[in-house]
Amino acid sequence: MRKILSCILVMMLLASAVLMAVTPAAAYEEKIPFAGEDNELTKDELSSAICSYMLDEVGLSDDVGDAAYVYAYWEGKPKTIVDMTDRTVTLYRPPERVAPLSNTFIEEVMCVFGVEDRSVAVSACCCRDNSSYDYTYKGEHYTFTGASYPSDVLYPKFLELPYVGRLDSGINYETLATAKPELVIIRMTCCASEENVKRAAKVIESMGIPVVVIKDPSNYEDQREDIIYKEIAVLGEVFDKQREAQQSIDRMDEVVETIKERTKDIPEDEKPTVLYFGLSRKAREEGGVGNVQSIDALESEFLENIVNAKNAFRGMGRQIMSSEQVLALNPDVIILPTSHGHHPPTELYESEHFKNIQEVKAIKEKRVCSLPATSCRSERLEFPIELMIEAKCCYPERFADIDISEWSSDYYKEIYGIEDDKVEEIKLAQQYYRLEIE
């Protein structure tokens, strides 16, 4: 009797300690460990499994740990998740080996959830491993080399994981199979078309690996911030981190609503015109002076619907512009996103490349601001920081109480649960000290 009671006690401890006893399984099976033919785990089945291990003095296996988790948190049944393509994905054990195929958004959320060490492979549509670019700051030439994504700063091992290719140009399925993921999570972005994602998901599922797909706002006609919140919520379901997901959503939405509230009453004729102006070297090589974002771009949607300003360029599609075209637009404010590298405002003010557009109103009045260095912007967890920078640049008097450097530090601490040293690493990687925002 005493041994039986000990078995039950261990079962309860397993249920409360959960993943402490869970280690990666050799292969993902469509069956709950120790469950009967109905694939639903009962208390008796779990007790029997635990007791047989204890009485044989063999020790607790990963299967027992997974079974205890499923019994305690999934009520002994398989878990079903409806992803953002309306596919129903069934999990039979908590995924411990995950391949996040995104442009670091999923990795960032995994850092928030504290499950970043479950990653076994990565993907990206831009340079990821020790990205390098050149830029000019106050007349001096600089070269930056290193990780610029917050997730890679927080968990450098992301950069050591197998790279499985890009969804837009093809996944290396052999490399993916070698990594032995129990779950693949795909984020559909502007550089991962629906057709390519469907094709990749089909191939991966044929390998016996379940796939969950989330979609960023660029995949919707109405590009709203709550789509990002939905992505986080789905990932919260996948990792059983619903509470942490909601906390992140609440913090992000708090910033968004603050910006909306402070700018909601601005008359249409007082809204500044804003040009998203990429200073890419490639644009100059093709005969232009820079590239611009159109009114249908995600950046423009957020600018107009959240910051409550106006995109100076009313055309469609990303376009390379000549000096004459920029002068004709004559924007009140210029926002410099990462575009083939980071570009601080002084580059626009001082570089010989831009001498022909110095009469633009935003340049003459020094109303140019730079966004943090992040390649292939697709709205990650730091998008509220970018919106706050844009809001302060557009309406400095309404956001005079916001010190971007201090405020962003607090935001990173709250989102990631990190201390000052890690915040400093992120800010250095993303060039915060060269944004030149008052």
Q: Which residue, among 373, 344, 353, has the nearest Cα to 436 in the 3D structure?
A: 344
Q: Note every long-range contact of 80-84, with CB atoms under 8 Å and residues 24 or more positions apart, other chains counting.
A: 81/212, 81/234, 81/237, 81/238, 83/212, 83/213, 83/214, 83/234, 84/188, 84/213, 84/214, 84/215, 84/230, 84/231, 84/234
What's the number of CA atoms in the CB half-sphere (13 Å) around residue 345? 21
In the prediction, which pLDDT does 69 show? 86
In the prediction, which pLDDT does 201 show? 93
* Distance, first Cα to last Cα, the chain: 72
How far is residue 287 from each of residues 189, 280, 360, measured CA to CA in Å?
29, 12, 19
Top-tier CATH class for 264-434: alpha beta
Please spell the DSSP secondary structure of 96-124, one letter per residue. -SEEEESSSHHHHHHHHHT-GGGB--BB-
In the prediction, which pLDDT does 145 show? 60
In the prediction, which pLDDT does 128 show? 54
Q: Which residues contact 9 (CB under 8 A, 6 or more apart)?
A: none
CATH dotted code for 80-250: 3.40.50.1980
Listed by start position, the domains of the chain span 2-77, 80-250, 264-434
Phi-psi region of 413 (alpha: psi -120 to 50; beta: other; left: phi over 0): alpha
Q: Would you call 81 helix, strand, or coil by DSSP?
A: strand
User: What gap in Å lies between CA 295 and CA 314, rounded to an integer?
Assistant: 6
In the prediction, which pLDDT does 318 show? 80
Q: Which residues contact 206 (CB under 8 A, 6 or more apart)?
A: none
CA–chain centroid gap for 99, Å, is 14
- Residue type present at position 313: F
In the predicted model, residues of the chain with pLDDT beneath 70 are 1-28, 53, 55-61, 125-147, 375-378, 437-438
Q: How many residues does the chain have?
A: 438
| Residue 149 · residue 372 · CB < 8 Å | no
CATH topology identical between 80-250 and 264-434: yes
Q: What are phi and psi of 163, to 5 degrees?
A: -95, 125
Q: Within 10 Å of residue 190's Cβ, how many Cβ atoms?
A: 18
In the prediction, which pLDDT does 147 show? 57
In the prediction, which pLDDT does 276 show? 92
Q: Which two tokens stand for residue 119?
A: 């990653």
